[in-house]
A and B are shown apart, each in its own frame.
Chain A
Amino acid sequence: MLEVEKISKKAGDFSLKDISFTVSPGEYFVLLGVSGAGKTMLLDIIAGLIKQDSGRIMVDSVDITHIRANKRGTGLVFQDNTVFPHLNVHRNIAYPLVGKGFTKSEIHARVLKWAETIDITHLLDRKPASLSGGELRRVAIARTLAMEPRFLLLDEPLSSLDVLIQYDMMRLLKKLHQSGQTIIHVTHDYNEAYTLADTLAIINSGRVEQTGPPAEVFQHPASRFVSVLAGIRNFFTGIELKKCDGLWGHTIKEGLTIYSSAPCSAGCSIFIREDDIKFFQPGDPAEVNVFDGIITDIIPSPDFYTVVVDAGVNFFVRVANADMKAMNLRSGDKACIKINPGSVRPV
């Protein structure tokens, strides 16, 4: 088990503050955050490449904070691959095995084993300069796995790869995870995190904002930042809270109050999923949370449209492709939206 305990580090204007989390054996742990959030620095600290100002790192209750990088046994795959350009793929994968008491044939057997696992046996004699970005990433992963690390640290492993290769790489990472490899993966991509993670930690400005299973984190974002990462754009902070007929009224702007059925406390925020906002149809019963506005933008995507309705604040409404044709919505049209109080979730 890896325990990161209250790690702090100041570097220029940026600092990591009291970062703590635990990674269990066999777990796929994803650190999700935007660029500059401190994800890479944190991986470097876990790998022993950067010394933290305070806090400690424990492996199975043993403090490894002061153990040098080359003795830690944590495998780090860098974002820029760092495959040695002067060695061919075979010698790159063999690198962590040389000088560790293995015979030449044992080294060759291990190189073959990992090359087969990562599906790069056909590249073994090639020099890195002749490899594509996806192939280089695979070589870097195979080389790190050859040292049989207890923890595989991956720094943005899917970035700067084209979509098809990303999919292959994602399958490879799932396969490694299923084989029991403990993985700590940092990314800025919400979909990647959601697809791969057993446990997710959201990191923002050097702090962990929320930790938990991805579904739980994204269903119940603890902050505006987490909701933005989860793709939730209907996130509002109330300026006044009042209780009325069993509902909680959040005034988010002068003259605009959204009611929720879930109890809240003063100063709390609310969010509404885009597919929980509906267009008010003639004949629908008048309810609470009905707002008139103007359609300011219609954003297409392969599966649905996102319609932006300005009703004093911008509401983002998801409309299925088929419904869109029937409703004949156009930018500049007047529109009326409704929100079920049960869909208004407090944070």
Chain B
Amino acid sequence: MISSSKANFSPFKLLLILLGGVILLFLVAPIAGMFFATPVSAVVESSRDAEVRNSIWLTLFTAMGATLAAAVGAVPLAYLLARKEFRFKRVVLGIIDLPIVIPHSAAGIAILGFISRGTALGKFASVFGVDLVGHPVGISIAMAFVSLPFLINSARDGFMNVPVRLEKAALVLGATPVRVFFSVSLPLAWKNVVSGLIMMFARGMSEFGAVVIVAYHPMVTPVLIFERFGAFGLSYARPVAVLFILVSLLFFIVLRLLTRNKNA
């Protein structure tokens, strides 16, 4: 009798597993290597370093601020794009994906030109005594610029998966369009919207190119890692990188746990 595993064996399946394994190894090996090469004591020491702690908090707050502030406009835009057909819609979709394809240092230059003191936004901020260049708000703006496509595209996919008939049913049952959005469309697209928020937050946290041009100081953690590497070498940059990865992982796991059965 032939066992089921033997019967299911095929050289093609083996090839798929081998190729997939190489890719997984490629993703895991550098990070695992960094973890193995970093003594726990060095990571603990880094966690006691005020500069490191401040930069991690700054990174978390600016990324979170960027995500929440942008979501106010991005989620309705995603809904509009999922539901409405209009002229130049493809152009709008292309514009939304633009930050993904342009170099992030170039994005930083563009943002700098947008928020510096001479611009309308810069002048508006200076009314409140804020110079956006080198300010956490400026950092959030740079983070938002490069990470918005992740939220908009994910939320748009979520809204597109909500059957229009459900929204029509809600309308006929007497709900206003606003109530239809908040009681039917958003809850049913919630999983994708939250995924988009988490992806945007993660992408914002990890941003270096655009942020370093807008604000070298105060230092977000990617900039701090770069600075420690440039000034002191690999062994000084590694513990900060490991600590930042651990904090990021912890944050994402908590966020996923908090939002997991929301749509069940």
Task: Give me the interface of A with B, judged by CB distance under 8 Å.
Answer: 44, 47-49, 68-76, 78, 80, 82, 84-86, 95-96, 99-100, 143-144, 147
Contact = CB atoms under 8 A, between A and B. Distances in A.
A32 to B, nearest CB: 23
B161 to A, nearest CB: 11
A69 B171 CA distance: 6
Contact of B173 (A68, A80, A85, A143): A143
Given A78-B165, A95-B170, A86 B175 contact: no
B169 A82 contact: yes
| Dominant secondary structure at the B interface | helix
27 contacts: A49-B168, A49-B171, A49-B172, A70-B173, A70-B174, A70-B176, A70-B177, A71-B174, A73-B174, A74-B172, A75-B172, A75-B173, A76-B169, A76-B172, A80-B165, A82-B163, A82-B166, A82-B169, A84-B166, A85-B188, A86-B263, A95-B170, A95-B173, A95-B175, A96-B173, A99-B179, A144-B173
Nearest to A68: B171
Give the most central of A75, A76, A95: most B CB within 10 Å.
Answer: A95
Contacts, number: 57
Contact of B188 (A44, A73, A86, A99): A86
Contacts of A82: 163, 165-166, 168-169
A74 B179 CA distance: 18
A11 to B, nearest CB: 15
Interface in B167-192: 168-177, 179, 183-184, 187-188
Interface residues of B, number: 19
Contacts of A75: 172-173
Nearest to B180: A70
A128 to B, nearest CB: 11
Contacts of A95: 170, 173, 175, 183
Nearest to A140: B169
A73 B172 CA distance: 7
Interface in B115-173: 163, 165-166, 168-173
Nearest to B167: A82
B175 A70 contact: yes
Contacts of B179: 99
A70 B168 contact: no
A147 B173 contact: yes
Given A84-B184, A86-B263, A69 B172 contact: yes
Contacts of B166: 82, 84
Contacts of B172: 47-49, 69-70, 72, 74-76, 144
Nearest to B184: A84
Contacts of B175: 70, 95-96, 99
A48 B258 CA distance: 40
Contacts of B184: 84
Contact of B187 (A70, A76, A86, A144): A86
A49 B179 CA distance: 16
Contacts of B173: 70, 75, 95-96, 143-144, 147
A290 to B, nearest CB: 57
8 closest A-B pairs by beta carbon, nearest first, are A82-B169, A96-B173, A69-B171, A76-B172, A70-B171, A82-B165, A86-B187, A96-B174
A73 B173 CA distance: 8
